[in-house]
Structure 1
Amino acid sequence: MYLPQSFAETRREVLDALLRAYPLATVLLSGADGIVANLVPFELDGPRRLRGHVARGNELAHADGAEVLLLFHGPQGYVSPNWYPSKHATGREVPTWNYVVVEVRGRLRVIDDAQWLRAFLECLTDRHEAGLPQPWHVGDAPPDHIETSLRAIVGLEIAITGISGKFKLSQNHPAANRAGVVEGLRRRAAPGDAELADLMVRAEESRDGP
């Protein structure tokens, strides 16, 4: 992806945090019929591996050994030039879009193993059910239903060969404009605006240092 240096995020702990907070990835695979895209939730398993699962009919289930590209999207939103103090002083500003995305490149391994799948699904659901008043567990479903469901899917393992982040958070603007964007996002309060504003504030704190 196009990655100006001012928007590059290289800190692995920051990239991993986004993968965990926004685990649904767009997976791009180049196949015989061209490029195909699928949405798959993944679990980060250490620094070099992602785990997921798909239906047996999915193109990814038949692409063992293939190289894949994954895009994990975080908060995003339109930025109005009216939020920039500089616009009111000079008028020389235009709209833009702020967003964060992590790009992962890796090699796909397809896993057709019911024991592996059950252990993975227990881990996956336990994490996403945590905090709910009555968490659902794999064992809550009838055993025959779980067995049937497991036969309908395969596991995916991505060996990570490269990872990079693009955090476009108005870094190319002066501090007053960045503060104006944060204020504008909080005032608009559209879906994702609060999360995007929080990211900008954390980036500002990181820029300022301890």
Structure 2
Amino acid sequence: MYTPPAFAVDDTDELYEMIRQCRLANFITATPTGPMATPLPMLLDEKEGEKGVFYAHLARPNPQWRADVVGDALAVFMGPDAYVTPSWYASKAEHGKVVPTWNYTAVHASGPIEFFDDAERLLDVVKRLTDLHEGTRKMPWAVTDAPEAYIKAQLRGIVGLRMPIASLQGKRKMSQNRPEADRRGVRQGLATSSRDTDHTVAELIPI
């Protein structure tokens, strides 16, 4: 990922938090016949391995897990994003030398990939992913709420994946390269947008 120094995020804890805020990642592998990608919710185990380990699962009919993988796999986590019109820049009125851009956050994680279909390991991944996403609900659903035989049958339809993190890159492009007056204009413009995501991005603009 191309990351100018002004937009780079290097702190590991901050990168982990950015990942936790993304509920769905793009899991990408290179194969002899071309790239393959699957949108997946991925679980980050920060305490395992040197830099952390991702766990997830794919549908068994998904051909991605059967294909030969060339090099490391890549997980792409995209955070909030917003279009930025040059009309919000104070610089537009001063000299007009401005163009549109896009603000966004992203984390790219890569590492070797292991696919597995051991029932106990699969059940552990499914339980941990479920607990992660159900944890904030007032009445969280648990895997044990479903009949045991039903869960066992469902596990036969998926394949697990484990990806130790070898490389972690983060980017937060939030108009840091613009003068303060321009950043204030962007923040105000996004705050009055009709898109909820724009409001989130507005709060990330440094002033």
Instruction: Tell me the TM-score normalized by structure 1.
Output: 0.90
Q: Deviations over 1:1-47 (max 9, x none)?
A: 22222211111111110111103111221113211111111111013
1:131 matched to 2:132: no
SS in 2 for 1:22: coil
- Cα distance in 1, alignment partners of residues 194 and 36 from structure 2: 34
1:41 matched to 2:41: yes
- Residue 117 of structure 1 is matched in structure 2 by 122
Give the aligned CA root-mean-square deviation in angstroms.
1.6
Q: Which runs of 5+ in 2 are unaligned?
A: none
- Cα distance in 2, alignment partners of residues 115 and 100 from structure 1: 35
- Cα distance in 1, alignment partners of residues 64 and 31 from structure 2: 10
- Cα distance in 1, alignment partners of residues 156 and 21 from structure 2: 29
1:10 matched to 2:10: yes
Matches within 5 A, 1:8-87: 8-46=8-46, 47-63=51-67, 67-87=72-92
SS in 2 for 1:131: coil
Once the two structures are TM-superposed, the CA of residue 64 in structure 1 deviates from its matched residue by 7.6
What is the letter of the counterpart of residue 21 of structure 1? Q
Aligned-residue identity in percent:
39
SS in 2 for 1:188: coil
1:170 matched to 2:175: yes
Q: Deviations over 1:31-85 (max 9, x none)?
A: 1321111111111101321111111122342258752111100000100111111
Q: Deviations over 1:79-110 (max 9, x none)?
A: 01111111122222111111111111111011
Once the two structures are TM-superposed, the CA of residue 199 in structure 1 deviates from its matched residue by 2.2
- Residue 208 of structure 1 is matched in structure 2 by none
- Cα distance in 1, alignment partners of residues 76 and 152 from structure 2: 31
Once the two structures are TM-superposed, the CA of residue 195 in structure 1 deviates from its matched residue by 1.8
| C-alpha contact 1:100 1:166 (8 A) present in aligned 2 | yes
- Cα distance in 2, alignment partners of residues 53 and 28 from structure 1: 13
What is the letter of the counterpart of residue 51 of structure 1? Y
| C-alpha contact 1:64 1:109 (8 A) present in aligned 2 | no
1:184 matched to 2:189: yes
The structure with more helix, counted as a fraction of residues: 1
Q: Which runs of 5+ in 1 are unaligned?
A: 205-210
- Cα distance in 1, alignment partners of residues 63 and 169 from structure 2: 25
Once the two structures are TM-superposed, the CA of residue 163 in structure 1 deviates from its matched residue by 0.6
- Residue 151 of structure 2 is matched in structure 1 by 146
What is the letter of the counterpart of residue 157 of structure 1? R
- Residue 100 of structure 2 is matched in structure 1 by 95
- Number of equivalences: 202
